[in-house]
Amino acid sequence: MTPNAKESSQCFKLPPGKIAVVVGGTTPVGVSITRRLASLGCSRVITIGKYEKQGNEKLEDIKETYQGQVVLEFVEEDLSCVKGIKDAFSSFQQAWGDDKVDYLIMSQSGPPTGIINLNEDGEGTEFTIQVISRFLLAYLFIKEQLLRSEAGVMFIGNPGLNYDLDVEDLSLKKVAEGGRYKPLIALDQTSRDSTVLDSITLEFSSRYPQYNFYHVLQGLVKTSLFNIPNLPFPFPLNYLAGIGLIGSPITSDEVADIPLYLLVHPEAKEQLGNGLFWNYKLQSESPGAWASDAGNRGKLWDKLCGMIVEGGQSAP
């Protein structure tokens, strides 16, 4: 029987001293996860987001509710280019100190639009936020040994879709130049993001087995960045069905219970097993065909490292 994540979290408290980082701290899901971590007894949470004023206002609301029970801090950075991602990590290091992180949760949002907006690196801005920033931040946290042994790293996205990736065209620039219909590019972007995140989840798990990695479908949350009327015409419902979101929860508070149950609850593995990929119903998912191929994943890993590490040197 599938456990009830909300009920389970209401009667559970984290052990003392747990520390979390929430990336995407000004998104509705990121704010909700931060609030739930505070309610579960997390000792310290640093959130990383784009808008400092908005982020601090959200944290003040949480501080008022849980006065003196949790230390909350906000780091403002733009994750839409590699420099911004590295700056975010540097700012985090300055604010953090010597503590090790127990939970690294990434909910930053760069939703598919069917349009490719290139950043200063020549990559899609939304793709950089949604995917490249997750890879790079996870890699830097590991490289700098900021994660505690058995720490949990969670990518909140959409696992299990499949796209036949060209690692030399991850932003789909060539696809767009070929005249592909914008709504179909939006579907391509969705499947591309899923395939890349599935691939790096598998690779991180294989290369760094001392940590726990997850790629989890949050469900559909209506936000200023993701609103059904703004999806590419003419197929909002087909779009949602195609990415597995019809019938999902509609509030960020509901959504936050799912990833946190997997990440922090001591009974999660006993109840559900050791899967890496999960949907919002706490059902295990399987990676797509492309991500399941170790050779494909190796090429992708080298390509991503080449984007972010000087000289294109591969991560260990």
What would the pLDDT profile of 63-77 be if each residue is shown by its tens digit? 999 988 899 999 988
Average pLDDT, the chain: 86
| Residue 278 predicted with pLDDT over 90 | yes
| Residue 176 predicted with pLDDT over 70 | yes
The reported pLDDT for the residue numbered 309 is 65
The reported pLDDT for the residue numbered 235 is 47
Q: Comparing C-alpha atoms, which of 7, 3, 60 is closest to residue 35? A: 60
Between CA 126 and CA 111 the distance in angstroms is 6
| Residue 248 predicted with pLDDT over 70 | no
Listed range (91-105, 220-234, 302-316) with the worst mean pLDDT: 220-234
| 225-236: average pLDDT | 51
Q: Comparing C-alpha atoms, which of 170, 105, 159, 112 is closest to residue 304? A: 170
Residue-wise burial string across 290-309, b where 16 or more C-beta atoms lie within 10 A, e elsewhere: bbeeeebbeebbebbbebbe
Between CA 111 and CA 259 the distance in angstroms is 19
| Residue 210 predicted with pLDDT over 70 | yes
Between CA 266 and CA 252 the distance in angstroms is 23
| 166-187: average pLDDT | 95
Starting at the edge strand that comes first in sequence, how are the strands of the sheet with 44-49 ordered?
71-76, 44-49, 19-23, 101-106, 147-157, 212-217, 277-278
Helix (H, G, I), strand (E, B) or coil at 80: coil
| 187-197: average pLDDT | 97
Q: What are phi and psi of 74, to 5 degrees?
A: -120, 135
CA dihedral sign, ordered 224, 70, 269, 146: positive
Provide the whole-model pTM.
0.89
Between CA 251 and CA 112 the distance in angstroms is 20
CATH 3.10.20.340 for the 15-310 domain, yes or no? no
| 217-234: average pLDDT | 57
List the beta strands (DSSP E) in the chain.
Answer: 19-23, 44-49, 71-76, 101-106, 147-157, 212-217, 277-278
Is residue 126 a contact partner of residue 79, using CB atoms and an 8 Å limit?
Answer: no
Listed range (233-237, 286-290, 300-304) with the worst mean pLDDT: 233-237
Listed range (49-53, 101-105, 206-210) with the worst mean pLDDT: 49-53
| Residue 314 predicted with pLDDT over 50 | no
| Residue 192 predicted with pLDDT over 90 | yes
Between CA 238 and CA 232 the distance in angstroms is 11
pLDDT band at 273 (very low <50, low <70, confident <90, very high): confident
